[in-house]
Amino acid sequence: MLGTFADELRRDPILGTQYLAKRIAGHYRLPVTTVIVTFTSPTNQPGHVELSHSNEFFVALEPQYRFVPKAIAAILAHEVAHVFLHRCGVRFSVKFENEILTDTTAVYVGFGPTMLNAVTETTRKLTSKNLVETWTHHFGYLTLDEFGYILAKRDAVYGTDSAPKIDPGISSAAFECGRRRCQAELQHRPFVIRPWYQRLFHLLSEKSNSITLSCPCCSQPLRIPKSHRKLSVRCPNCDSQFLCYS
């Protein structure tokens, strides 16, 4: 999709961006007939979208990204997620929390690699100290490692591997960091079976008849009975299913 978009962008930035915006809206299953795009963002933010229930929507992007395909794709993935959540009637009252929700939605819908691949690295040599200063820039309100973590959770749910879709370097390192964190969470009770002596110790010492845990997919607090056997657990919040050793 980005290859065709890059060709369209070179010919006409407005038409190319409109083409990509409609493709992204289609991925969100939004019934969009027209997307109006400008490169005159009035908010000093990378992008801004007007929220409505119309089949047309207006999105403005910062002019500096006019010929940067990966940046435009990441911005649009986030902004169209705003439209998607608005039409679903889902939002938080706190702006920052709502932006985090929007980033998370974009990743879970399938734009995690798009968000990660838009990261850029800038290097500047400090002549006075003979040092090199490097900093990174990415789009969204999550950190790069958090993007990687959520994408790894999505992979676990759908049985996919996003690694081949992610650019080498910073993007790949962020994804691997998030995946290691996700995998580490599944290496603790009750997601793994304990040695017999630990099971015996807990059988004798625990007074509670239940075990509390967080859903590995959506972090919803759950409680399961202490049965000392393998259980199949279904989260009522996100409908994911997983095994626990209680």
Q: Is the pLDDT of residue 85 over 90?
A: yes
What is the mean predicted confidence (pLDDT) over 220-245?
81
In the chain, the percentage of residues whose pLDDT exceeds 70 is: 85
For residues 151-158, average pLDDT? 90
Q: Are 35 and 59 in contact (CB under 8 A)?
A: yes
pLDDT band, very low/low/confident/very high, at 230 (cuts 50, 70, 90): confident
**Rounded to 5 degrees, what angle do the CA atoms 22, 27, 33 make?**
35
Q: Quick one: which of 52, 51, 53, 1 has its CA closest to 27?
A: 1
* 113 or 127, which is more confident: 113
Question: What confidence score (pLDDT) does residue 208 get?
Answer: 61
Indicate whether 94 pLDDT > 90: yes
Q: Taking residues 120-124, what's their average pLDDT?
A: 80
| Summary mean pLDDT of the chain | 84
**Average pLDDT for residues 79-101, to the nearest whole number?**
93
* pLDDT band per the 50, 70, 90 thresholds, residue 136: confident
pLDDT tens figures, 199-222: 555 655 556 677 788 888 777 888
Structural domain boundaries in the chain: 1-90, 112-185, 189-245
Concatenated DSSP letters of 97-121: HHHHHHHHHHIIIIIHHHHHTT-EE
The pTM of this model reads 0.81
Q: Is the pLDDT of residue 3 over 60?
A: no
Q: Which residue has the higher pLDDT, 102 or 194?
A: 102
Q: Cα(37)–Cα(21) distance, rounded to whole angstroms?
A: 9
pLDDT-wise least confident of 19-33, 73-87, 105-119, 222-236: 222-236
Please tell me the chain's helix, strand, coil percentages from 3-state DSSP, rounded to the nearest 5. Answer: 45, 20, 35
Assign residue 120 a region: left if phi > 0, alpha if psi is -120 to 50, beta otherwise? beta
DSSP per-residue codes, 136-168: EE-SSSS-HHHHHHHHHHHHHHHT---GGGS-T
Mean pLDDT of 30-50: 84
Question: pLDDT at position 126, please?
Answer: 67
